[in-house]
Amino acid sequence: MPQQTTDDHPIRSSGRTPTGYRRLFALPGARAFTAGNLLARLPMGMFSVSAVVMIAGTRGSYALAGAVTATGLTATAVAGPWLARLVDRHGQARIALPATVVSVLGSLALLLCVRHGAPDWTLFAAYAGTAATPNIGGLSRARWAHLLRDEPGALHTANAFEQAADELCFMLGPVLASFLAGALFPEAGTLVGAVLLLAGMVLFTAQRATEPPPRARSKAASPLRSPGVPALLVCFVATGAVFGSTEVVTIAYADSLGQRAAAGAVLALQAAGSCAAGLAYGALKPAGPRLRRCLAAMAVLMTLPWAAAGTGSLVVLAGALLVAGMATAPTMVTAMTLVQRRTPADRLNEGMSLMVTGLLTGIACGSATGGWATEHLSPVAAFAVPAAAAALALLIGSVSTRA
């Protein structure tokens, strides 16, 4: 009997049903929207590093570079839930693609301001334009949640894959950004990232068959009123501070050793550790989310880069970041699974975008704090910032959540 399908799911009446990651990509259209999403998501690992290298290299200030990137991330955090609400109401293609065009124009404006020596305030204004960047990972997770809404085990695997994809992009993105800036010109990373973002979003939004249907104006309460969601949001803020401070501090540390070009590769190892851990975690079938355990692992492992920085060896630091990254993906997968469970179905994009807002807010605070600590203390001492942020995330998770 040939394979039959419904609107949402393939139904296999004969043969062996695929499981695990094979099950995900057996779904019609899954490979196509994933390809577009990955292409659009890769620049997310490029933009911050590109901006820091571009601005610090031309203006000679990591504090300015950190403040500019923090401004852009904060603006994105504010605009994200509003954009996600529009996506829930009108559909991904109608909202995400025009928003991406606006974001790309903001990146190009920043590039031109840096290249032509415009006043510092113009850098903040231009980078704020990138606030229109859609929550690309959230759009993909929403598709999986739609396709696998009756299969919680498969949805866990999909969430793990998406987190691994995030880490893959943050593994390759910094390397590509650093290479482009060094091999071509300082603004090359931003330029290439803008092109990839637009091309990927065009491909992603063209896959209409897997797009969740738009919903009428939701009558459900804001996701922030859902039990447990506010606590998760605060945890995401603290976790974001870990990411933002680690990135800026690592770049500054490599620069202090005269090896700034290697910073992207070092950061890539942290993402590699997280990517591998995420894929392994997705293959497991946990009895339930265990957020506090994941946060505890992250708090412990983030002390390793701080200790390694004292050796004065970039190789030792790279190894420490590789190990420290292994706690990141399980933490994010567990937290995002909890968000999906606790958010009304017709406001799912908004709920996930709120978490990204928290994450970006934390990244912005971490970037600014890491930049300040690097200039006023030392690159080695500044590694205390991500370690402290991880400890704070654990404290918040232990006091405020039931996971």
For the chain of 403 residues, list the mean pLDDT of each consecutive stretch of 10: 40 49 80 88 83 80 79 78 81 88 90 85 86 84 81 78 80 79 81 92 87 69 69 85 88 83 79 82 66 87 90 89 87 80 72 78 84 87 91 82 51
- Positive or negative CA dihedral for 54, 55, 60, 65? negative
Give the per-residue pLDDT at 196. Answer: 93
Phi first, then psi, for residue 262 (nearest 5°) are -90, -5
- Positive or negative CA dihedral for 109, 236, 43, 132? negative
Q: Is the pTM of this model over 0.75?
A: no
Give the per-residue pLDDT at 389. Answer: 92
Round to whole Å and give the CA distance between 278 and 165: 9
Query: Which regions of 150-309 does DSSP assign to beta strands (E)?
Result: none
Where are the chain's structural domains? 28-214+224-400
The alpha-carbon radius of gyration of the chain (Å, integer) is 20
Other Cβ atoms less than 10 A from the Cβ of 320: the count is 26
Q: How far apart are the first and last CA of the chain?
A: 45
One-letter identity of residue 197: L
- Region of residue 282 (phi > 0: left; psi between -120 and 50: alpha; otherwise: beta): alpha
Round to whole Å and give the CA distance between 388 and 391: 5
Looking at 2.40.50.320, 3.40.640.10, 1.20.1250.20, 1.20.272.10, the CATH number of the domain 28-214+224-400 comes to 1.20.1250.20
Give the per-residue pLDDT at 12. Answer: 39
